[in-house]
Amino acid sequence: MRKFEGKKIVLATHNEGKLREIRDLIGPLGIDVVSAGELGLPEPAENGTTFEENAATKADAASMATGLVALSDDSGLVVDALDGDPGVYTADWAETEDGTRDFDLAMKKVEDALQAKAVSDPKERTGRFVSVLCMRWPDGHREFFRGEAEGHLTWPPRGTSGFGYDPVFVPNGFDTTFGEMTAEEKHGWKPGDKTALSHRARAFKFFAETCLGV
């Protein structure tokens, strides 16, 4: 496992929600973060069939374009009753005809697919959010960090916090959706904490402990 000893990384994302959460997590560690979106870098085509492949694609593009160590996140919602969909196509389910993304539409697509299979019992509506972080050095070396948050899908959506599919996901052990939680409740983590709740915070905890040594 290669340690990161620098003070600046480029976060390979154009997603404001991801940027906000990663900055919340990495800020206390004294590392400066600039995003690919802020630098005006183009978004690479994500043609992978796994979260790891797509995370590597994004990290490679950002690192090669800037000469910096890059950190990427590829994440998505995996629904058991839908045979793992939307999975790596989580963002694609939100795409509209004009090329924008509408996650209200995406959440409705998931619910319609569950209703088409007559899946209404919470015990049958299980799934998980998955996050894979990839850190990529300019010499091509990569490290991967995976986090998962188990839960079930609810309907209708609840809460306006977070982003994406957060309002329909209830993590195990809670009665509230990610969309009803504050940022601190959802992904708050700091060095020394034994646990983290969200998929991204769990992946980041793994990254921080193994790659940053905190």
Here the tokens at position 98 are 């004009």
Q: What share of the chain is helix, strand, coil (3-state, %, to 5)?
A: 40, 20, 40
Length of the chain: 214
Nearest CA to 24 out of 145, 196, 151, 210 is that of 196
Q: What angle do CA 33, 29, 208 make, to 5 degrees?
A: 95
Query: What's the gap between Cα 140 and its chain centre?
Result: 23
Active site (annotated) includes residue 166: no
Q: Identify the three-state secondary structure at position 12.
A: coil
List the structure tokens of 166.
């957060």
Contact 159, 170 (CB under 8 A): no
Q: How far, in Å, CA of 87 to CA of 69, rounded? A: 27
Classify strands 70-79 and 8-11 as parallel, antiparallel or unpaired: parallel
Cβ atoms of 170 and 152 closer than 8 Å:
yes
**Among 24, 60, 73, 74, the one annotated catalytic:** 74
- Residues with catalytic roles: 74
